[in-house]
Amino acid sequence: MATTPSPYTPTIRHRRRDPVPLAVWPVAQRSAQYQRAGRYHPGCAAHPGKMLPALARCIVAEYSRPGQLVVDPLAGTGTTLVEAALLGRRAIGVELEARWADLARENAEHVLRPEHRQLVELHQGDATDLATLLGDDSGRVDLVCTSPPYACDVGNVDKANWDRGGDLCPTDERNYSTDKANLGHARGAAYEGAMATIYGACFAVLRPGGILAVVTKNTRRKGRTVCPSARAPHGGRRVSR
Ligand SMILES: C[S@@+](CC[C@H](N)C(=O)[O-])C[C@H]1O[C@@H](n2cnc3c(N)ncnc32)[C@H](O)[C@@H]1O
């Protein structure tokens, strides 16, 4: 019987002996909404800056093996954790906001069958405390896969509210939270300093040879595009320990 391949299954992999790794993954041929529809918890729509499920899946498939440990220190709705567990990896997430940490747990419950759900662990806390939060798993992480706040305003557009003269984006979700301690509100040097600390914490929890994969998007400042990962301490390159 012919089976239809899942839209989330990465179909292109570079061979490890290739001198230049594959640079383009076709993970956005279907919209983010389509990738989540009927699969992810509907409450995820409230989070304003989620990773594409197919992208998380590609990274996990490419840079880790079944049975290994994947960590997302800025877990949001838990996209990385869900996709990693579906691929048979243990997955630990850290998220500052109780609201999103609870949603990530609900999401895992919603998407995953028990055998995969037991692979997921979620901590509410600050990513700068990653090593403490991971406890005995610190230093044993095979892959950190994360998408940081983007150092620009993020929000869910509510056009109807805007038409009524209200806010374009609900203020409680804008930049992830009203809490100014959330890095969604940090800009410039404050953002870069905090992210440098978090990338350092990621480096510290990786095992020797472990990989840090960071997904960012370019922002615009004064008419120029700025790549937040290129401003990171490791220059935004793939780094392994
Ligand atoms: C770009 S979002 C990650 C989205 C996630 N990949 C997903 O698919 O849902 C960044 C997340 O970092 C969280 N965050 C901000 N500052 C943090 C900190 N110091 N420690 C942990 N999480 C933090 C935000 O609340 C937000 O949910």
* 1-15, 80-94, 112-126, range with the lowest pLDDT: 1-15
Nearest to 126 by CA among 164, 85, 182, 86: 182
Instruction: Say how many C-beta atoms besides its own lie within 10 A of residue 140's C-beta.
Output: 15
Ligand 1 first shell, C-beta below 6 A: 47, 49-51, 74, 76-77, 79-80, 94-97, 100, 126-127, 147, 149, 176-177, 182-184
Domain boundaries, the chain: 32-240
Q: What is the whole-number distance in angstroms between the Cα of residue 72 and the centre of ligand 1?
A: 9
Full-model pTM: 0.88
Give the span between the Cα atoms of 78 and 104, in whole angstroms. 5
How many Cα neighbours within 13 Å face the side chain of 238?
13
47 vs 174: CA distance, rounded Å? 9
Spatial separation of the C-alpha atoms in residues 228 and 206, rounded to whole Å: 22
Among the four given CATH numbers 3.30.70.100, 3.10.20.30, 3.40.50.150, 3.30.70.270, the one describing domain 32-240: 3.40.50.150
Instruction: Report pLDDT digits (tens) over 137-179.
Output: 999 999 999 999 988 888 888 888 888 888 888 888 888 999 9
Whether 126 shows a pLDDT value over 60: the answer reads yes
With CA atoms as reference, report the closest residue to 125 among 95, 93, 92.
95
Name the residue of 50, 96, 100, 144 whose CB sits within 8 Å of the most ligand 1 atoms, as the mutation to test its pocket.
96
pLDDT tens digits along 54-70: 999 999 999 999 999 99
Whether the Cβ atoms of residue 105 and residue 117 lie closer than 8 Å to each other: no
| pLDDT beyond 90 at 18 | no
